[in-house]
Structure 1
């Protein structure tokens, strides 16, 4: 069901954010950091969350806004998804620059990493605590059945699915430890 897959995606994204937060703590404590893992986490968010997870949410949100007028808080999620995509792209560029040996002050990188993690967490919390409970309360079984028919079949998650993509093997291993 769509709503349960969204909650599962949110749990998985939270795991990535915890890994990123651990790296932020390591930076603040002047410990070594694996920037490739940070890149892989961001890449997953760009490739899976932005191209698959957010469109799934947007399908539900648009349907809800069309059906239940006065749902301004839900309607603003489109703009928030766009904003997160921009923030993710900007942060990905910063990580790529570091991996290409560009000199970026560590405090600036830590600030960008912190802003990225905080923004992602705030977005998840808004959806989990306010938006999704509101939607679940008002949409009927018929609404959910209709929405399910509008969503293409579930894709295999390249990180948290049964088969981990070669791209994310190191990240999957790091998430288990």
Structure 2
């Protein structure tokens, strides 16, 4: 169940990254863009991915590191998650500045948005192709039962769940 929820989260995050890519194309084509939607994606990543998704992955990764050999690639993901949190916070400040009408050249914003999307995608790709398949093959049903028992968080998703949070209504309607 934990692994399935991680894959589901990754699919949802990829949908949001696709939306950001579409917004990036519109920005580069000098079309009107709803920057509030970009902010909402970033807020969702800060509030859901960093507080629920990454801790869930970290639970699995730390367990794997403790119980299995050849875990160097998995161990590096802690640093990746910290770097993603910092990147997301930095980009959140940038989008807030844009929404407050600060003067940020369009090409600078586009480059920051592109870097944000590319870094997020690279991280998801690493996990989906290089890390999670190795963990899935190595760990036993007993391992997953132990991890599930340790995961006591509610998996309520404020955007993709049954009850969409008021702050994500516009984004949910858009996607």
Give 1:68 shift: 1.0
> Unpaired segments of 5 or more residues in structure 2?
none
> Unpaired segments of 5 or more residues in structure 1?
none
Offset from partner CA, 1:151-176 (integer Å, 9 cap, x none): 0143310000001100000000111x
Give 1:12 shift: 0.3
1:106-125 equivalent positions in 2, closer than 5 A:
106-125=106-125
Q: What is the RMSD of the two structures over their aligned residues, measured on CA atoms?
A: 0.6
Partners in 1 of 2:111 and 2:87 — Cα distance? 13
1:4-153 equivalent positions in 2, closer than 5 A:
4-153=4-153
Q: Tell me the TM-score normalized by structure 2.
A: 0.99
Q: How many residue pairs get matched?
A: 175
Give 1:70 shift: 2.4
SS at match of 1:30: coil
Residues 104-113 or 61-70, more deviating: 61-70
* Deviating 4+ runs (over 6 angstroms): none
Give 1:61 shift: 0.2
Offset from partner CA, 1:76-101 (integer Å, 9 cap, x none): 00000000000000000000001111
Partners in 2 of 1:153 and 1:57 — Cα distance? 13
